[in-house]
Amino acid sequence: MASPNISTDRPVIRPLDEAAINRIAAGEVVERPASAVKELVENALDAGATRIAVVFADGGKTLIRVTDDGCGMTGADLPLAIARHATSKIDGTDLLNIHSFGFRGEALASLGSVGRLTLTSRAQGHEAAQISVAGGRIGDVRPAALTRGTVVELRDLFYATPARLKFLRSDRAEAQAIAEVIRRLAMAEPHVGFTLTETSDGDQRVIFRADPESGDFFDALQGRLTRILGADFTGNALRIDIRRDGLHLTGYAALPTYSRGSGAQQFVFVNGRPVLDKLLLGALRVAYFDFLSRDRHPAAVLNLSCDPERVDVNVHPAKAEVRFREPDAARSLIITGLRSALSGAGHRASTTVANETLSAMRPEPRVYQMDRPSQASFARAFAFQAPAPDGFAEAPTARFDAPHTTSDAAPASDHPLGAARAQVHENYIIAQTSTGIVIVDQHAAHERLVYEGLKRQMAETGITAQALLIPEIVELSPTDATRILDAAPTLAEIGLTVEPFGGSAVAVRETPAILGAVNAAALIRDVLDELADTGHSTNLRAKIDAVLSRMACHGSIRSGRQMRPEEMNALLREMEATPHSGQCNHGRPTYVELKLHDIERLFGRR
């Protein structure tokens, strides 16, 4: 039976018409309304706009209008602006030296081929002009009324390709995607004002507004991130500003104790361009893997700046991915830069830990004692009123046992974690600071201290490898064998020795001694999975660190052990001197700090 895909007629090669070419291009560039918004807002940014207003209706399906105060265009520029591969941003001689968001000259032509596009603009010293294009049919340039800048109005997106409409999601989902695009671009350009408005049946609702921020880059970025991500993020984030080998990493990265349940608060930019790059997001994950459990994710907003010739942004139709000339340098800068910043934070934990603690402790609406007596008051009253066998009895008096304290004469400490005052339930140390109190989980805190000590010891003496009595032979595919052997020198540094064994097999001759008995084949495949995913393997290092973590857990102060005052204070001082001691090996906080004014609020004093 002949295949239905095979024709007996010889196919004829013919060029596609311009309308089909534009619609095919639109399918690559404009996936959904949010893609159209992204292209139009990036054009406005390239035009030098300081304020950009976006209005949409029905999730962007029926209306998208972008207004900016940029440099604008003349009437003679408008026909070129909607032509394919016509742009003012590059001259075509060097596709690697790109300093603008857009450069292909496809966006307006693609949008005009699948929707009804109206472009109104005015350049300084010229009259305003307007041009329309619907389904690829271009109208004439005509006079218009506009003070400055450009207004791009796109109606009935995909009306010319109705099949595409069936693949769009609900209006609400498309509106959320548009808002996410604006939020990301607003983070990239903190000195530019953004307004996002949804219109429906004549009613308008402002979904997002961010006025231009003032000050230097970091002050402006901090203000913008406070507006977008909230004061909790900026209050618990570390400023990142690191230069090395022509690369410059800037932004804010949150403390490990301010971790999230997903990667929703991870934003990465390259030369100010929002990207969803696997290499960079993987490096961010690796930088935090020693401080967070697998189900927690770091929060960060990072921009990696470099010479445009060192990064290719022309590898993805939507420019969402990039390719670095030296990917190892970019990855290393993110990992070492973030780890250095986290180490510099010392024992600091996020303020949200205290806020969550206060929320858990906050009492229900107050009912004063005079309004509702306690159970103890009831008991004393009943005992007082009960008749005695031999006359009236003296009312029983309450007896309070003073808690065990370290030393009543000890002054309040000026140390960050204060001076130990008591140990409660043989697990929690209560310390007094000059501004409040600190509650320390003694087991979690000492676990981190022991873990950091083991890591220092391993860094100084190296990772000892144990030779296998009989090398384990692992059969792999040719691709996997090449990949693991390419990484063999790096793996040998952490105790895993892999050698070729003929064909596509490899021989595992040594494994890290700290791992003990290990399934070498399973270990090799774990490493290969990570190499395929990121190009690097932290899996083995993670396994070794996991062993160190378990050793630290077993070797630390156990819950239930009573500690002497000098032991408690020694633990506090060591926490202050040890990086990352604000969280345990699993990413949970090791202490909670409550300020005096917060405690007073709990008791209604404020």
Distance CA 508, CA 520 (A): 7
Mean pLDDT, residues 452-478: 84
Hey, what are 179's tokens? 């808002």
- The predicted model gives 318-326 an average pLDDT of 81
Q: Does position 370 have pLDDT exceeding 60, yes or no? A: no
Is the pTM here over 0.75, yes or no?
no
Share of the chain above pLDDT 90, in %: 39
CA distance to 7, 8, 13, 545, per residue, from 3 (Å) = 8, 10, 21, 57
Q: What is the pLDDT of residue 603?
A: 79
Tracing tokens 């039976």 back to the chain, one arrives at: 1
8-12, 46-50, 287-291, 380-384: which is most confident: 46-50
Answer whether 499's CB lies under 8 Å from 451's CB: no
Q: Do residues 273 and 313 make contact, with C-beta atoms less than 8 angstroms apart?
A: yes
3-state SS, one letter per residue, for 238-277: EEEEEEECCEEEEEEEECHHHCECCHHHEEEEECCEEECC
* Residues 37-41: contacts with CB under 8 Å, at least 24 apart: 37/64, 37/66, 37/178, 37/181, 37/182, 38/181, 38/185, 38/318, 39/102, 39/107, 39/111, 40/64, 40/66, 40/107, 40/111, 40/152, 40/154, 41/66, 41/181, 41/182, 41/185
Confidence of residue 559 (pLDDT cuts 50, 70, 90): confident
Residue 226: other Cβ atoms inside 10 A: 16
* Band of pLDDT at residue 407, cut at 50, 70 and 90: very low
DSSP assignment letter at 347: T
pLDDT the model gives residue 456: 80
Cα–Cα distance, 128 to 75 (Å, whole number): 7
Assign 519 a pLDDT band (cuts: 50, 70, 90).
Answer: confident
Q: In order of start, what are the domains of the chain with their CATH numbers?
A: 18-210 (3.30.565.10), 217-344 (3.30.230.10), 403-606 (3.30.1540.20)
What does each C-alpha distance from 332 to 240, 329, 430 come to in angstroms?
A: 15, 5, 40
Contacts of 373 (CB under 8 A, 6+ apart): 381
Q: How far is CA 451 from CA 219, 548, 556, 586, in A?
A: 36, 6, 9, 11
Residue 300 host element (H or E): strand 300-305
Q: What pLDDT sits at residue 102?
A: 55
pLDDT of residue 511: 87
Q: In degrees rounded to 5, what are phi and psi of residue 570?
A: -65, -40
Q: How many alpha carbons lie under 13 Å from residue 403 in its C-beta half-sphere?
A: 10
Q: What is the mean pLDDT of the chain?
A: 81
